[in-house]
Each structure stands twice: as C-alpha cells, then as structure tokens.
Amino acid sequence: MTEFTPYSALLGGILLGLSGFLLLFLNGRIAGITGIVANLFFNFSKKLTWQIYFLIGLVLGPLVVMPFGFNLPTDIDLGWPAIIIGGFLVGFGSRMGSGCTSGHGICGMGRFSPRSIIATISFMSAGIVTVFVIRHLLGV
C-alpha cells in the first residue's frame, strides 16, 4: 500500500472537501467522524438522523466506487492487539485534542481555525515521526 495514486488521491480529496463544505454550509455541522460517532453512542436522540445517514454514506461510498476501479486496502500487516491499541490511542487523542483528524484537518483547516491548524500540525508531525521511527530506526 505504498504506491502513490495521484488521480484517485486528488478525487478523494475533492470529494472529502466538498462533503465537509456541504455539511457545514447546508447543515451548519462539522464533519468530524469521532464526534459524529460519539454523539450516536452517548447522546442519541431523534435529532441525530443526519449522523446516521453520514455513517451509512461512509460505509456505502466504497461500494459505490468499486465498479470504477477504486478499492480499499485489504491487507494489514498488524495483529489484533496492535489494531486495538491503535484504536484506543486514536480515541484518546481525539478526546484530548477536542476533535479528530477529519474534523481538524479537513473542516477546521478549511475554516482557518487556529486550534485546528495547531492540532493538524501536531498530528501530522507525530505521524511523520512515528513512520520514521518504525521504518528507519526499528526497521519494521
């Protein structure tokens, strides 16, 4: 999964930006996945209909584009313990940072939110350092 595919990446980025813009413009909401899921589990009410549709769209989206040659990666070179620990770390970081990468990186950056700019610099830097350590220092 190290191949760079500029056209599908560009199309994906355009669709993410457009969907974030439309949700904010039409509904006044930020497309932060962690917040959407947390609200569904902890603050469920009849007013959360759009969140349910949003998550259904996330699941159905890949199925819609598969006939056009777009596929999700299916091989993960990690065991279940690493995946579970990573999930908890992402959840903890999302709570600590008051939002997730999609909320800060896509929606917050698009609104020029200073908090989101700092958060995006932080998680991108942490990701770069993590990849460097894992690939170059640990040799994994």
31: domain range?
6-137
Residue 109 lies in a domain: yes
Is the CB of residue 24 less than 8 Å from the CB of residue 103? no
3-state secondary structure of 1: coil
pLDDT at 140: 73
C-alpha–C-alpha distance, residues 96 and 29, integer Å: 20
C-alpha–C-alpha distance, residues 95 and 90, integer Å: 9
pTM exceeds 0.95, yes or no = no
Residue 94 lies in a domain: yes
pLDDT at 125: 93
What are the per-10-residue average pLDDT scores of the chain (140 residues)?
74 85 84 80 72 86 84 79 87 79 82 88 90 86
Nearest-Å Rg of the Cα atoms of the chain is 17
Is the CB of residue 100 less than 8 Å from the CB of residue 34? yes
C-alpha–C-alpha distance, residues 88 and 94, integer Å: 10
Count of CA atoms in the C-beta half-sphere (13 A) of 84: 3
Residue 119 lies in a domain: yes
Residue 1 lies in a domain: no
pLDDT at 44: 65
Residue 47 lies in a domain: yes
Residue 15 lies in a domain: yes
C-alpha–C-alpha distance, residues 107 and 117, integer Å: 10
Question: Looking at the 3D structure of the chain, how many domains does it have?
Answer: 1
Residue 102 lies in a domain: yes
pLDDT at 2: 61
- CA nearest neighbour of 24 among 134, 108, 119: 108
C-alpha–C-alpha distance, residues 110 and 113, integer Å: 8
Residue 97 lies in a domain: yes
**For the purposes of burial, counting CB atoms within 10 Å of the CB of 107, is it exposed (0-12), middle (13-18) or buried (19 or more)?**
buried
